[in-house]
């Protein structure tokens, strides 16, 4: 054989052999990738560290080798065993899965056949999820039951926050119901979906005793009232809440660790901002740093400023005044999840010029337009154009 051919085979044959070995190994150990939209950190109840999905890796389970729809074959490299994980995307912020124990290598279909209908269902909630609008908005009044009887009096309340993704629930204690207590919880809605006839909601509940995601994440089932008797009673929604950071055991809106019956608050009287004020829709302070916008048939006012401040104000009652082209109003305000009452006095100086005085905030409506909360002689004016 020619010396040159001998040199060629001596140099390149080992490299070709190595290439074919790699190709065969790759075919034996395929790689699959989890959907890119699932990537990120996830919380699962009972798991100390966040679960991370990154490309082919599911941090606590291993590496994906094969997939078929919602079924994934995952290898645990440390234990050299395989499991089938069936993952259902309920919402962009909620994944639920079932899995097999770790087995010696077998096909995906064969391994997944070990999962039975009553296998344990695990829920994962996205860490740092973008909130979603809550499926029901306040204001409501409600009664609740934690397994020791219905707490009906005094009645509890739900207030809508400025952001559509947050609600403020004020629970009252009933002296005749064991386990009832006065507490305030802020619910941040993170996911909502429909499954069969049931509607689910996942959110974070913030309160004084919640110190970890294990305490904050909760699952809810809710349903809109549908019967005539419920409509007569003013019932809008029934809601059941999980007792832990899972959706396990929640099948209906009438069974849960805590059940809630929401009733719509009666609409306030036909209180409207005066037409000479609300008819122009938008007003600004002289330096344009504050904007007043009127909505909902002149009954609602939104105040915003250049730094991102936002307050929603609803007209509650028109107060008598002695001056023409002026209006004093008792209003209900919402800023973030804080709410209460305040008095506002508007005075028309010209068609396109208005002055406003705003009183101090209070929780009691009867105090808002009385001293010391409102004293027009020492409250500064804001000029609007």
* Token couple for 39: 């990537």
Pair type for strands 300-305 and 150-160: unpaired
Contact 129, 305 (CB under 8 A): no
The set of residues, in sequence order, having a beta carbon less than 8 Å from that of 201 and lying 6+ positions away, is 134, 135, 189, 191, 192, 219, 220, 221, 222
Cβ–Cβ < 8 Å for 45, 214? yes
Dist. CA 368–CA 360, nearest whole Å? 7
Tens-level pLDDT at each residue, the chain (385 residues): 454 444 444 444 444 444 333 333 333 457 899 999 999 999 999 999 999 999 999 988 999 999 999 999 999 988 889 999 999 999 999 999 999 999 988 889 999 999 988 899 999 999 999 999 999 987 889 999 999 899 999 999 998 898 999 999 999 999 999 888 899 999 999 999 999 889 999 999 998 888 899 999 999 999 988 777 777 677 889 999 999 999 998 999 999 999 999 998 776 667 899 999 988 889 999 999 999 999 877 788 999 988 888 999 999 899 998 888 899 999 999 898 888 899 999 999 999 999 999 999 998 889 999 999 999 899 999 999 9
Residue 253 structure tokens: 């809106």
Residue matched to tokens 């849960």: 256
Place of tokens 């190595």: 18
Q: Are 92 and 125 in contact (CB under 8 A)?
A: no
Cα distances (angstroms) measured from residue 305 to each of 30, 280, 337: 56, 19, 18
Identify which of 315, 234, 334 has the alpha carbon closest to the alpha carbon of residue 268.
315
The C-alpha angle 165, 168, 170, rounded to 5 degrees, equals: 160
Strand 300-305 relative to strand 310-319, pairing = antiparallel
| Residue 111, C-beta contacts closer than 8 angstroms, at least 6 positions apart | 73, 82, 83, 84, 100, 103
CA dihedral for 359, 360, 363, 366, sign (positive or negative): negative
Q: Is the pTM of this model over 0.85?
A: no
Spatial distance between the Cα atoms of 108 and 99, rounded to a whole number of angstroms: 12
Strand arrangement of the beta sheet that strand 310-319 belongs to: 282-284, 290-295, 300-305, 310-319, 326-335, 338-350, 353-358, 382-384
Q: How far apart are CA 371 and CA 20, in angstroms?
A: 89
Pull the structure tokens for residue 189. 């809605």
């Amino acid at each position: 054989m020619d010396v040159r051919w001998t040199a060629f085979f001596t140099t390149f044959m080992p490299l070709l052999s190595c290439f074919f070995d790699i190709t065969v190994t790759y075919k034996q150990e395929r790689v699959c990738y989890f959907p890119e939209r699932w990537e990120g950190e996830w919380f699962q109840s009972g798991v100390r560290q966040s679960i991370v999905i990154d490309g082919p890796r599911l941090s606590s389970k291993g590496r994906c080798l094969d997939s078929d729809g919602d079924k994934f074959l995952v290898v645990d490299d440390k234990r050299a065993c395989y499991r089938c994980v069936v993952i259902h995307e309920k919402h962009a912020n909620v994944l639920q899965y079932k899995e097999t124990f770790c087995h010696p290598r077998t096909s995906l279909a064969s391994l997944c056949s070990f999962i039975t209908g009553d296998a344990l269902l695990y829920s994962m909630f996205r860490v740092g999820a973008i909130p979603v609008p809550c499926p029901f908005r306040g204001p409501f009044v409600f009664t609740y039951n934690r397994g020791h009887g219905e707490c009906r009096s005094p009645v509890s309340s739900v207030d809508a926050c400025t952001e559509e993704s947050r609600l403020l629930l004020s629970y009252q204690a009933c002296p005749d119901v064991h386990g009832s207590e006065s507490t305030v919880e802020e619910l941040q809605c993170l996911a909502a979906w429909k499954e069969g006839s049931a509607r689910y909601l996942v959110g974070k509940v913030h309160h004084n005793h919640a110190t970890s995601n294990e305490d904050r994440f909760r699952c809810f089932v809710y349903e809109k009232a549908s019967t005539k008797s419920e409509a007569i009673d003013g019932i809008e929604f029934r809601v059941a809440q999980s007792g832990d950071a899972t959706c396990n055991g929640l099948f209906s809106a009438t069974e849960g660790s805590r059940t809630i019956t929401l009733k719509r608050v009666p609409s306030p009287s036909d209180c409207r901002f005066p037409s000479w004020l609300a008819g122009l829709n938008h007003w600004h302070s002289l330096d344009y740093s504050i904007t007043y916008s009127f909505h909902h048939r002149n009954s609602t006012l939104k105040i915003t400023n250049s730094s991102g401040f936002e307050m929603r104000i609803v007209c509650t009652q028109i107060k008598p005044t002695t001056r023409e082209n002026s209006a004093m109003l008792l209003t209900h305000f919402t800023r973030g999840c804080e709410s209460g009452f305040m008095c506002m006095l508007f005075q028309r100086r010209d068609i396109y010029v208005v002055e406003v005085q705003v009183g101090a905030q209070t929780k009691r409506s009867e105090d808002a337009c009385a001293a010391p909360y409102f004293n027009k002689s020492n409250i500064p004016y804001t000029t609007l154009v």
